[in-house]
Structure 1
Amino acid sequence: MLRLTLRWRVAMVLGLGSLLLTSTLAIAIWNLASGYMLRQREQSGVRQAEVNARLVAESLRTGSGGLNELLTGLATSQDSTVLLFRPGQVLTSGRQVDPTRLPPRLLELGRRGVPAAQRLIVDGVPVLAVTLPMSSAGGAYVELAPMVQLDRTFRFLSGLLVACAVVSGLLGVALGFWASRRALRPLTELTNAASRIAGGDLRARLPAQADPDLTPLATTFNVTADALEQRVIKDARFAGDVSHELRSPLTTMVNAAAVLHRRRAEVPGTAGKALELLTSEIDRFARMVVDLLEISRTDQRADDTTLEPIDLAVLVENVIAARPGRAVAVEADAPAPQVLGDRRRLDRVVANLLDNADRHAGGAVRVAVLSRRGMARLEVDDGGPGVPAALRDRIFDRFDRGARAGSRGGDTGSGLGLALVAQHVQRHGGTARVEQRPGGGARFIVEIPEADR
């Protein structure tokens, strides 16, 4: 079910309210205006018919000739009709109308001596039918006064009122949308700032608010964001300091382990197996310390550098060429996409993705650099078991090694490689994700905005 946003709901409510109010006023104006004009027209029509009826009655009373000429003169327009009903005779002038088209009840009232008036449509023309008794002749005088102009006035007025109501409703929607947009602007700013913080930009803040109702919200949010930034910086500095302090003893341990590893043949049995386990864990520990230093530097933003245009295909080829073992051919669009980035970080992204494929899936089987709708896209495919859907987001978290969590060994990794990938890609305004590879395996995808050529 489609649900309107708060902004549109406010706009629609204000628009409907404006339409309802305007429609009510339009109906009231229509009733007052049309009723007044109709009463005025009926009164003038009846008065004119009474004057004309007295002239006809005087002519009949005196028996003077020229009755037909008199009736012709009383039909003042081409749409008006005068009918004189006498016993056994009906005289008409003006627009010819079949007397049988008139309501019998109206004629009966006139013959009984009861004046009557009624609005009719005769042969497609709206008229006011006025019936007056002719007592001296035992008949009735009927005059059909045209109401064409009044009908046109009513049509124009009704159309104008309907148009005003519709325009008022649309203006209400526009005004509601504008007002809701201004009223919800602080909420939009809050959402954007919170999204930036969730995306890693801890410097996002709300601007100062002049509205006293919004000042506490902006102040509280900014204070919370400051505290969060300081906490993250302290944690990153602590991790960096610890990692840095560990490098010296770790270097000694790595060198000592290398010496022992070269003399592995002299250490048989259980002691030899313990030596292999020790050297493997020391290597893993060394990689973890290096990754921790990289993450701490990124969190503290201490190594920001000027971005430069980079040919992504060339960068990937250089990283693959510098790696030992079997080289993987790079599929690249022509021309290859360029990005504006930090070469060191992008080198690390490619290297970590290839290391991940080597460690968990027997190596990469395909590497592609593509251009898709303004985004430079790097794809690294492997032929391993793939990544379950439930773990595809988690594996980019720090110290999360997916299905191998809790296991130990030189090939399990530290759980920081993909986290660094996601962090470096995010610093470039891009995204990193993993999908199922067609035919089996995993496809790691990195997308970064292309640079303007």
Structure 2
Amino acid sequence: MSAASVSRLSLRFRVSAAFGLGLLVVVSVLSAATWHLATDYLLNQRQQSADRHARINARLVENEVRDRTDGLGELLSGLTSGPNSTILVSLPGGWHTAGRPIGPADLPPGLLSRTRPGAPAHDRFTADGVPVLVVAQQLAKSKGYYVELHPLLGLERTFRKLRMILVAGTVTCGLFGVVLGAWAARRALRPLAAFTETAARIARGDMRARLPEQAGPDLAPLAATFNATADALERRVRRDARFAADVSHELRSPLTTMTTVAEVLERRRDAMPAPAQKALQLLLAELHRFRGMVLDLLEISAVDQADNGEERELVDLGSLVRSGVASSPAPRPALELPSEPLLVAADRRRLDRVLANLLDNAARYGGGAVRVAAHACHGVVRLEVDDAGDGVPAELRERIFERFSRGVHAGRRDPGSGTGLGLAIVADHVYRHEGRVWAEGRPGGGARFVVELPQAHG
């Protein structure tokens, strides 16, 4: 997996995977060590027992051979320890066997050559499907060899059970590490989630959002610093809002006077020479645009004031859309509204302004609204306004909701170009209602502006 792919994984997933992998590696090492120690110990014990057994049996065989050889077969049959054991004795006269039929040719190559007086040779192999431990010992007095095959079926079953237990324990510990990592990551990232949510609320315009006080010595300074930064930002925003409101209020009086004088001159326009008429027309257009900007600035300053929710009420979005479209001066678009109420807890005046600004934006830049729809889906009420324009380029779909941003129409100065505050007011009002707004392409061409608000229940 590349570094870019790893960086796209969530931190919680990476912590969980690290816990699981780390515990899996540690337990795997311990399981491997346990396996080797246990198997070596059991095999050594089995080998020592086989050596003692072979040493005693070899002595009995030598005593029997020294006295007589006609009873050797009966002795070897009595020395076999089970149906799967085998005894082979090599004497100058040939091989003698007892127990399961295993011939000298089936023994591991070089086994007898590795024996020394008092030092038996050992080996493990599979004889006719049965794992065995073979012990070969020299018969010094008889100048031969004593070979005994001990079955390891019981030991193999023990090894198989031990292997299953170790593998199951290793896998279980790995899964437990993943669960433990997920739990630890969730607890460790809980303050980060609170930080993200608070920062998102501030970004949406909720200047009152703060982090809760943290008891931990590591998180307490972070929470205190973040809250202090948020306090300073709130004071700055409030100060700027008051400044914008004061300036807008101060501009209203001279602007009203200039507009009144311009309208008086407009009524006497026919008595003016052509250059003065053109200048008056330009003056009126700029005054109307300036007046719209001042009203928008007043609206922005009102948006930036604290919203305590006291002006909110249950509003039927469908009814609001019908009345808003009916009162709009633009051509009436097609309406797609359900028969049941679409209730939201909102400030009706602000929702009216949201719809009016979206319709005005469609009329100014999108060739007019062609469809307005509203419906409820998954706990939210969705409002859609489609226009007949060329659509909004993907790289501008977020920027057009910024203040004084007019997208591809930023260079226009004609009377109908707008001030660049309409969609910013829409975004501010929607965020004040814990909602979302965005622009996307309309199927068939044009732009679609979507507003989502939390659904309320009456």
Q: Give the corresponding residue for 1:446.
A: 451
The 5 Å alignment of 1:422-437 reads 422-437=427-442
The 5 Å alignment of 1:370-385 reads 370-385=375-390
The 5 Å alignment of 1:343-382 reads 343-382=348-387
Report the Cα distance in structure 1 between the residues aligned to 2:314 and 2:288, rounded to whole angstroms: 35
Given candidates 201, 211, 228, the residue that maps to 2:216 is 211
Report the Cα distance in structure 2 between the residues aligned to 1:195 and 1:176, rounded to whole angstroms: 27
Q: Give the corresponding residue for 2:5.
A: 2
Q: Deviation at 1:325?
A: 5.3
Report the Cα distance in structure 2 between the residues aligned to 1:196 and 1:325, rounded to whole angstroms: 35
Amino acid in structure 2 at the alignment position of 1:343 = R
Report the Cα distance in structure 2 between the residues aligned to 1:110 and 1:212, rounded to whole angstroms: 71
Q: Give the corresponding residue for 2:161.
A: 156
1:393 aligns with 2:398: yes
The 5 Å alignment of 1:82-231 reads 82-107=87-112, 115-231=120-236
Report the Cα distance in structure 2 between the residues aligned to 1:242 and 1:131, rounded to whole angstroms: 109
TM-score (normalised: structure 1): 0.89
- Tell me whether 105-114 or 73-82 shows the greater mean CA deviation: 105-114
Report the Cα distance in structure 1 between the residues aligned to 2:214 and 2:136, rounded to whole angstroms: 76
Is the contact between residue 330 and residue 363 of structure 2 (CA under 8 Å) also seen in structure 1?
Answer: no
TM-score (normalised: structure 2): 0.88
Write out per-residue CA displacement over residues 268-295 of structure 1, whole angstroms, 9 at most, x where no aligned residue. Answer: 4222223323333332222222222221
Q: Give the corresponding residue for 1:284.
A: 289
Distance 1:420 1:115, change over 3 A: closer
The 5 Å alignment of 1:312-351 reads 312-324=317-329, 326-333=331-338, 335=340, 337-351=342-356
Structure 1, unaligned runs of 5 or more: none
Write out per-residue CA displacement over residues 303-345 of structure 1, whole angstroms, 9 at most, x where no aligned residue. Answer: 7435334332321111111233532231235657443322211
* Percent of residue pairs bearing the same amino acid type: 55
Distance 1:387 1:266, change over 3 A: farther
Distance 1:201 1:127, change over 3 A: same
Amino acid in structure 2 at the alignment position of 1:376 = V
SS of equivalent residue, structure 1 residue 365: strand
Given candidates 54, 68, 73, the residue that maps to 2:78 is 73
Report the Cα distance in structure 1 between the residues aligned to 2:335 and 2:308, rounded to whole angstroms: 30
Is the contact between residue 324 and residue 356 of structure 2 (CA under 8 Å) also seen in structure 1?
Answer: yes
Q: Deviation at 1:352?
A: 1.0
Report the Cα distance in structure 2 between the residues aligned to 1:432 and 1:225, rounded to whole angstroms: 24
Is the contact between residue 359 and residue 369 of structure 2 (CA under 8 Å) also seen in structure 1?
Answer: yes
Is the contact between residue 113 and residue 135 of structure 1 (CA under 8 Å) also seen in structure 2?
Answer: no
Amino acid in structure 1 at the alignment position of 2:398 = D
- Tell me whether 303-312 or 188-197 shows the greater mean CA deviation: 303-312
Write out per-residue CA displacement over residues 191-243 of structure 1, whole angstroms, 9 at most, x where no aligned residue. Answer: 33222222222222222222223322222211111000011011112212232
SS of equivalent residue, structure 2 residue 304: helix
Q: Deviation at 1:351?
A: 0.9
The root-mean-square deviation of aligned C-alpha atoms, in Å, is 2.9
Distance 1:385 1:137, change over 3 A: closer
Report the Cα distance in structure 2 between the residues aligned to 1:13 and 1:121, rounded to whole angstroms: 42
Amino acid in structure 2 at the alignment position of 1:30 = W
Amino acid in structure 2 at the alignment position of 1:434 = A
SS of equivalent residue, structure 2 residue 328: coil
Is the contact between residue 204 and residue 432 of structure 2 (CA under 8 Å) also seen in structure 1?
Answer: no
Q: Give the corresponding residue for 1:296.
A: 301
Distance 1:403 1:144, change over 3 A: closer
Write out per-residue CA displacement over residues 102-153 of structure 1, whole angstroms, 9 at most, x where no aligned residue. Answer: 1242245669997423222211212221223335544332211122222222
- Tell me whether 231-240 or 305-314 shows the greater mean CA deviation: 305-314
Distance 1:329 1:32, change over 3 A: closer
Is the contact between residue 122 and residue 134 of structure 2 (CA under 8 Å) also seen in structure 1?
Answer: yes
Q: Deviation at 1:372?
A: 4.8
Amino acid in structure 1 at the alignment position of 2:449 = F
Structure 2, unaligned runs of 5 or more: none
Is the contact between residue 111 and residue 138 of structure 1 (CA under 8 Å) also seen in structure 2?
Answer: no
Report the Cα distance in structure 1 between the residues aligned to 2:325 and 2:114, rounded to whole angstroms: 109
Report the Cα distance in structure 1 between the residues aligned to 2:214 and 2:314, rounded to whole angstroms: 39
Amino acid in structure 2 at the alignment position of 1:195 = A
Report the Cα distance in structure 1 between the residues aligned to 2:333 and 2:10, rounded to whole angstroms: 49
